[in-house]
Structure 1
Amino acid sequence: MKLQRSREWWLARARREGDAAIGAGMSALDPLPEAKPTGATGMNVEEARIAFGKFVNLMRRRKGLTIEELAKEADLDVSDLLVIEDHIEYTPDPRTIYKLAQTFDVSQQRLMQLAGLVVANDVGFRLEAVRFAARSEAVEKLNVEEASALEAFIGVLSEREPQRSK
Structure 2
Amino acid sequence: MPALDLERHPGHLARRFRQAHTLLWNTVVSEEVTSPQFAVLNTLVGEGGLDQRTVGDRVGLDRSTVAEVVRRLAGRGLVDKVRDPGDGRRSVLRATDEGVRVHTRLAARTARMNHILLAPLEEAERAVFLDLLRRVSDAAEGLRHPTAPPAAAVGA
Fold shared, TM-score > 0.5 on shorter chain: no
Structure with the higher helix share, 1 or 2: 2
Q: Using CA pairs under 8 Å that are at least 6 residues apart, name the structure with larger relative contact order, 1 or 2.
A: 1
Q: TM-score, normalising length from structure 1?
A: 0.34
Larger Rg: 2
